[in-house]
Amino acid sequence: MSNTGLVWVCVLLAVFLPVINSSSIGSVNGGHDCAVCTIVLGVVEHLSMLYNESIVESLDRFCNYLPSDFKAFCKEAVDFAGKFFDLD
């Protein structure tokens, strides 16, 4: 996995997580949004290594673990952003 793919994933999460949380990014040093992005990126990266799949496939797998309220939004975001950083 390249750093470019990770950057796109982080940008995607930084943009869309405040929408999900109905909050804005106003905390010092990124606050909980930055922490969530870091944790999600770590989980997705480990999933991609564990299942030997691309980041897009791992993000899709990660979306399946989310509650149904967030699953559809997550899959739409992955489909949209996957066009930009699919490295296969």
Element (H, E) at 25: none
Note the pLDDT tens digit of each residue in 54-78: 888 888 888 898 888 888 888 888 8
Sign of the four-CA dihedral 49, 35, 61, 17 = negative
- The predicted model scores a pTM of 0.59
pLDDT tens across 15-26, in order?
Answer: 565 555 555 545
Task: Map out the domains of the chain as residue ranges.
Answer: 3-85
Torsion angle defined by CA atoms of residues 40, 31, 76 and 43, in that order, rounded to the nearest 10 degrees:
0
Alpha-helical (H) ranges within the chain are 3-21, 31-50, 55-65, 68-85
Amino acid identity for residue 86 in this structure: D
